[in-house]
Amino acid sequence: MVLLTGEKIRKSYGTRVIFDDIDFSIHEGDKIGVIGVNGCGKSTLLKIVAGVGSADSGEIITMNGMEIGYLSQDPLFVEGTTVLQQVFKGENPKLALVRTYEEAIGELAIHPEQTDLIAKVAKLTEEMNKEELWSLESEAKTILQRLGITDFTLTVETMSGGQRKRVALAAALIAPVDLLILDEPTNHIDHDTVEWLEAHLSKYSKALLMVTHDRYFLDRVANRTLELEKGNIYSYQANFTKFLEMKAEREELEAAGERKRQNFLRTELEWVRRGAKARTTKQKARLQRFDEISSIKAPEEKQNVELSSIGSRLGKKTIELIDVCKSYGDKKLIENFNYIILRDDRIGITGVNGSGKTTLLNMIVGNLEPDSGTIERGETVKIGIFAQENAEMDERISVLDYIKEVGEYIKMVDGKISASQLLEKFLFAPDMQRGPISMLSGGEKRRLYLARVLMESPNILFLDEPTNDLDIETLMILEHYLESFMGAVIVVSHDRYFLDKVANRMFAFVGNGQIKQYEGGYTDYHDAKMAEIPVYVAEKVQKTETPREKSQAPITKMSYKDQREFDTIGDVIADLEEKIEQCQKDMNACTTEYTKLQELSEKKESLELELETKMERWMELTELAEMIAENKGSNDK
């Protein structure tokens, strides 16, 4: 079923065309990732589809009664609203009813003696029962807890930017909509939360349209990809990895078509030059065909961000951390940390939000002093910092002048290039270079800032969340550049793919000021961490050796233990399902006791984990029983 169609959508900013009469559609069950370089219009497209932005021309046609949910990169918040009030602030009638109920409960807690409030809460409770909305509230609280928000009474103005983004994400996920639109949902959330969100959206039953630069996320969630390129839109029935293959095929077909066109034009041009005269209808048609084909616009030559290694010489002494400690109040972030940064180090830093990752970077580069311990830096050390927030830019000056502030030319391994040539390698065409910085999109400003950092020729490079707001194409070239970078690289990132590509050593903040070291990239770290979890959890992720693997001899009978388990496992599964159902009912009835709700949520998750393990075991035993029946049948013959 088609949920939404875009017809002849056109959008431009001044002389810059973003969409050139594009057509697209979204179907029921689609989980679409939108791909494209910064400035191609990804966020603009999402806003137009969501109805919070407008196109210059064209039309968005939606299914009757269709509900759309939208999470922007910078969600709006109303001061004074609590976490739950913010979650249920949408225009959907069901959300509005839950929000009204939450507000009434809040008022009653302040004025328990007011009879009109008691009556109001009673009436709203009746309506909630009638609409069966308790599960919606319970689900919202569960999602908030999984996103790291446990105090639902906090007001939004007292929360950090990352916490507010997670509240907005919960509001988007809980909304009963037909199409959910998410703009950078993985930004500023830690790895564990991203993995939970990945699993949640993989099971999401409604249509999904999203922009994210997390390639693992796109691979595991998306079943369709829309690519925006030079004002056009291309649709691929594929996740990210398959999209790369299909895009290469499309570009090869376009190139082959252009070669055929050029060959035809050369042949026809020779015919015209020989003095062919348009005396016959056939000759006139041939000339007309020549004119038509020669007027076809050739595919633009693909530009890439290509940058050979830039860096200055790094001496023997780099940066040494000796017994470094840092706390904020009673919260211990780093305790007695020791490390010597090696000349070719590739270090990835991971940990939950607020654990101290950026604090460690700020101390190493000298922006923050440790409480105790020392940090020694070698004389030849030249630090480059690509921070979470762009360095202050005078947006009135041109893009080229911003880079020229560092220098007119830059030395590369393979020669010297001008500031303008460097910008072209970063996909800033000459007309964009002459324009003011204020005309750039947020992602383009990040790319410009990265170009400036690299132009300063650092020999130790610090990247703090470099993948936020950078397009995938730029990320891939940055990854390639870092492979040949002549110096050390230290990265704080929530992008698992980027860490796998760049890091060969991981520092994990594990709590109470401790930083644990793992060899390898993110996947190696994740596997090692999983191996450290308790046995009762590890049993779930380990493959159970089946009797078939133990012996290749035909099996004609179950062992006593297996037979007994097979006879009883159905009852065990039914019992677990009943317990999960009761747990959900208890959660629905628990509206204000947040501690109890959290306990119930953890209990339910544990039961679901046990149920999943039992179901896997039931499948193994069923396969074994079928194999025994087959073996007996063969023997009877």
Over the stretch 108-119, which tens digit does the pLDDT of each residue have?
777 777 888 888
Mean pLDDT of 314-334: 89
Parallel, antiparallel or unpaired: strands 331-341 and 383-386: unpaired
Mean pLDDT of 274-280: 55
Is-contact 121 115, C-beta < 8 A? no
Which two tokens mark 223? 């079943």
Question: Is the pLDDT assigned to residue 461 strictly greater than 80?
Answer: yes
Q: For residue range 575-603, list pLDDT tens digits in order.
A: 888 888 788 777 766 655 656 766 777 78
Question: Is the pLDDT assigned to residue 544 strictly greater than 50?
Answer: no
Q: For residue range 237-259, list pLDDT tens digits in order.
A: 999 999 988 888 887 777 777 67
Nearest to 315 by CA among 486, 502, 490: 486
Is the whole-model pTM more than 0.85? Answer: no
Question: Is the pLDDT assigned to residue 541 strictly greater than 50?
Answer: no
Is-contact 211 182, C-beta < 8 A? yes
Compute the residue count for the chain.
Answer: 637
Q: How confident is the model at residue 536 (pLDDT cuts 50, 70, 90)?
A: very low
Spell out the residues 6+ positions from residue 224 whose beta carbon is closer than 8 angstroms to its own: 30, 31, 32, 33, 235, 236, 237, 238
Task: Give dist(CA 227, CA 245) in Å, integer.
Answer: 13
Question: Is the pLDDT assigned to residue 314 strictly greater than 50?
Answer: yes
Task: Give dist(CA 533, CA 528) in Å, integer.
Answer: 9
Task: Give dist(CA 358, CA 289) in Å, integer.
Answer: 63
Spell out the residues 6+ positions from residue 101 whose beta carbon is closer than 8 angstroms to its own: 121, 124, 125, 127, 128, 137
Question: Is the pLDDT assigned to residue 551 strictly greater than 50?
Answer: no
pLDDT of 578 reads 84
Spell out the residues 6+ positions from residue 598 whose beta carbon is closer than 8 angstroms to its own: 145, 150
pLDDT of 307 reads 55
Pick the more confident residue, 287 or 405: 405
Of 46-60, 61-75, 256-270, least confident by mean pLDDT is 256-270
pLDDT of 285 reads 64
Q: For residue range 136-195, list pLDDT tens digits in order.
A: 777 788 888 888 888 888 888 888 777 888 888 988 888 888 999 999 998 878 888 888
Of 47-51, 425-429, 619-623, least confident by mean pLDDT is 619-623
Nearest to 515 by CA among 488, 482, 542, 492: 492
Is-contact 31 207, C-beta < 8 A? yes
Is-contact 26 50, C-beta < 8 A? no
Q: Write the DSSP string, 471-498.
A: -HHHHHHHHHHHHT-SSEEEEE-S-HHH
Cβ count near 85 (within 10 Å): 20
Q: At 24, is the secondary structure helix, strand, or coil?
A: strand
Pick the more confident residue, 292 or 228: 228
Question: Is the pLDDT assigned to residue 226 strictly greater than 90?
Answer: yes
Task: Give dist(CA 486, CA 333) in Å, integer.
Answer: 31
